[in-house]
């Protein structure tokens, strides 16, 4: 273990029925620790491996540290938002057993639980008084033969997804899913950023978590993105953050420029990715790398995204 200050979790010290220590995160040295007892179930906090991802015991853990992530960064992030981190790993552990549709419901319920949490309420309180966005987001659609081109068209706002943009994406993906003559959907963006994520000024506008969950079940673009995923191609340039990455990850093919970068910043807000990304990213890069992105909040560049399978090719211009 390279850092003596990390919260080391030694599974054999806690046999079944004895309970687990009061930790927000635990690290396991894959080369030195007997992890067989973890096969009976993980504790109610993230358990992160340090060592070789190919180790036979690695697959049972929530994640294994790999470049460019670090154990100390993840420990600090989780310690600042322990409730959100615990909910995230519980959800990611379940998702491989669920259909994508059931996964979206589970993600929304998990997100709803955190909307009323102390961590998220404190984050919202810290933003009180910040200016509200006035200009609505825009999504453009053009169609030629069997190709539907969908464009995030608010470059001055770095294509952050507000209610108007969300509804525009839902309508575009719904059309693609319902029309068999549409063979390809090409999603891109204007400007130097693909998408900066969800519009932060709209967080908390629906204060009842149960009502917010009901709204997501009716309006989340992920439902229609899933329905047309076999037609969806995405090209990314610049920032691809939060909800933008969560939507893009449904695609059958993702290309990106070398200037593209990717991030899931939600944990610092006391929540988890809630635009379908826990499901879409798990299907694309697996639950462990999804956990690394979400627990760390760290950006990864296009080269790393390609190595992880988050994108399929590096290209200079949109196909």
CA distance 33 to 57: 10
**pLDDT tens for residues 63-104?**
999 999 999 999 999 999 999 999 999 999 999 999 999 999
CB atoms within 10 A of CB 211: 11
Strand order in the sheet with 63-64: 26-29, 47-50, 63-64
pLDDT at 205: 80
The residues of the chain that CATH labels 3.90.226.10 are 104-125+135-278+300-314
Give the C-alpha separation, 193 to 180, whole Å: 31
How far apart are the C-alpha atoms of 244 and 26, rounded to whole Å? 30
Handedness of CA 282, 286, 287, 290 (dihedral sign): negative
pTM value > 0.85: yes
Q: What's the CA gap between 227 and 131, in Å, rounded?
A: 36
DSSP E strands, 198-282: 232-236, 239-241, 253-256, 261-263
Angle of CA points 214, 97, 36, to nearest 5°: 130
- Predicted local confidence at residue 267, as pLDDT: 97
Distance of CA 26 to the CA centre of its chain: 21
Domain 104-125+135-278+300-314: state its class: alpha beta
Give 54's DSSP letter.
T
Distance CA 294, CA 63 (A): 11
Residue ranges, the chain, pLDDT below 70: 1-22, 33-39, 318
Please report the pLDDT score of residue 39 as a whole number: 66
pLDDT, residue 12, reads 47
């Amino acid at each position: 273990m390279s850092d003596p200050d990390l919260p080391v979790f030694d599974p054999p010290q806690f046999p079944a029925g004895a309970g687990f220590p009061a930790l927000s995160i635990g690290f396991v040295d894959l080369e030195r620790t007997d992890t067989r007892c973890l096969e009976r179930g993980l504790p109610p906090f993230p358990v992160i491996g340090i060592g070789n991802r190919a180790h036979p015991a690695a697959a049972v853990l929530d994640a294994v540290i790999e470049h460019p992530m670090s154990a100390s960064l993840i420990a600090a992030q989780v310690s600042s938002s322990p409730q959100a981190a615990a909910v995230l790993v519980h959800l990611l552990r379940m998702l491989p057993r669920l259909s994508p549709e059931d996964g979206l419901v589970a993600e929304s319920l998990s997100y709803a639980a955190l909307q009323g949490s102390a961590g998220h309420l404190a984050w919202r309180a810290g933003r009180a008084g910040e200016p509200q966005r006035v200009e609505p987001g825009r999504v453009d659609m053009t169609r030629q033969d069997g190709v539907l081109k969908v464009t995030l068209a608010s470059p001055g706002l770095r294509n952050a997804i507000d209610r108007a943009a969300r509804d525009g994406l839902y309508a575009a993906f719904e059309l693609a899913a319902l029309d068999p003559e549409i063979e390809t959907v090409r999603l891109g963006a204007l400007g130097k950023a693909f998408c900066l994520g969800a519009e932060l000024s709209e967080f908390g506008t629906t204060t009842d978590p149960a009502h917010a969950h009901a709204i997501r079940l009716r309006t989340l673009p992920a439902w229609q993105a899933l329905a047309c995923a076999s037609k969806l191609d995405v090209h990314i340039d610049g920032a691809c953050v939060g909800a933008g990455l969560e939507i893009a990850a449904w695609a059958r093919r993702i290309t990106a420029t070398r200037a593209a970068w990717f991030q899931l910043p939600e944990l610092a807000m006391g929540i988890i990715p809630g635009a379908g990304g826990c499901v879409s990213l798990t299907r694309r890069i697996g639950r462990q790398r999804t956990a690394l992105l979400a627990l760390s909040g760290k950006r990864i560049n296009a080269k790393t995204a390609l190595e992880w399978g988050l994108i399929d090719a590096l290209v200079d211009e949109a196909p």
